[in-house]
Amino acid sequence: MTLDPIRKAEQEHFRTLLMPTPFHPRLAPLVETQSWYGWAGMLVAHSVFDEELEYFAIRSTAALFDISPMIKYRITGPDAERCLNRLTVRDVSKQKVGRVQYTAWCDDEGHVLDDGTLFRLGAADFRLCCQERHLPWLLDTARGMDVAIREETQEIAGLALQGPTSFAVLSKAGFDGVEALRPFQLAEFDHDGGKVMISRTGFTGDLGYELFVPATAALSLWDRLWEAGRLHGLNAIGYNALNRARIEAGFIVANGDFVTAETALRADRVRMPDEIGLDWLVDVDKVQFNGRSAILAARKNGTLKHVLVGLEIDDNTPAEAAIVYHGNKREVGLISAAIWSPTAKRNIAIASLERPYGSEILDDLWVEIYALRELKYHKMMKRARVVERPFVKLARRSANPPARF
């Protein structure tokens, strides 16, 4: 049966194809699993060859992950710092050129719109990287200021190089001087007739770097790293392996561990920074930023309703999406991310709980796990304990200079 031309045109109109990233020609031949998904309109890999072995590449050698779909905004102009100080909860005036700042931004009610990293490339030149798109909000925040804001996601290709041998790979690739980079510091290096920006940052809690180049130089950067990594155990990885490492590091994901204010459909799903473990980011000494009054009022009046915690759970069955109970009876929260940690040798989870559970009441917490065993689900109630994040803390992440493993 063939479709008539009009109906076929209608179907084509509504079909949205995922775009390949600039690294796709190198990554695609390596993806044995053929497990792909869409991230910000681009095609990326869930896994490459084996997500467990890919995880161990992060923790034992080095791993290469394509972060090109990460949303990237360039913010420049005389009022760029002032604009970002109004937008974000941290004090941008304290951020020096050549530094990266983890931050978050909120709506006027103090609810988190997103979190991300802010790169200060110059006195009046910034790059903001995040999970979701926020251009209308950024432009509204900049109203009345001398600042230019544009999205550069497709123009800039990005790679995360993570793991104990990541510094050795960069050194072998000829990036002289990269050993001087301290955590959350960035610098530019020569590459393919232009520049590559390298920052000592990452989403794994391990020694690692992120590299950004114009999309036209993506393949030459991949080839340079891939050749240098041959003797250092370099492997390409997908998101599933990265996700395991980020849970161990205790990092949160927007619209995974919390619902962003712009995407929330229900009023009780939004969260303030204090409710998702980002209270330490909020610089209350800043005169003004979006959501400041609401955040301070919630703290003063004790109206914060939730808390995000790390849990250690009995047994070795991951408790992803499990309900958390107090006293085996009262439902008090939900687990958003969970794994059995090969490095910590613990069953760990990130959970959002209703206060005072998780903040004042820490005992007698239980997790309801449904484990599939030979086509039958077995309900298990396992004791959970609130523990500090990160679950895994590696000294090599912040070692100066980094070791050449």
CA-wise closest residue to 26 among 39, 41, 45, 40: 45
Question: What's the token pair of residue 294?
Answer: 């609401």
Question: What's the token pair of residue 199?
Answer: 């920052």
Neighbouring residues of 259: CB distance < 8 A, sequence distance ≥ 6: 269, 270, 271
Residue 312 annotated as lining a ligand binding site: no
Question: What's the rounded Cα separation, in Å, for the pair 340 and 349?
Answer: 9
Question: What's the rounded Cα separation, in Å, for the pair 272 and 289?
Answer: 14
Which H or E run contains 16? Answer: none
CA-wise closest residue to 359 among 302, 397, 298, 318: 302
Give, as one character, the DSSP assignment of residue 258: B
**Judging by beta carbons within 10 Å of its beta carbon (0-12, 13-18, 19+), is residue 177 exposed, middle or buried?**
exposed
The 10 Å Cβ neighbour count of residue 12 is 8
Question: What's the rounded Cα separation, in Å, for the pair 270 and 259?
Answer: 6
Helix (H, G, I), strand (E, B) or coil at 334: strand
Sign for the CA dihedral angle at 259, 260, 263, 264 comes to: positive
Question: What's the token pair of residue 198?
Answer: 């390298």
* Feature table: binding site: 210
* Feature table: binding site for substrate: 210
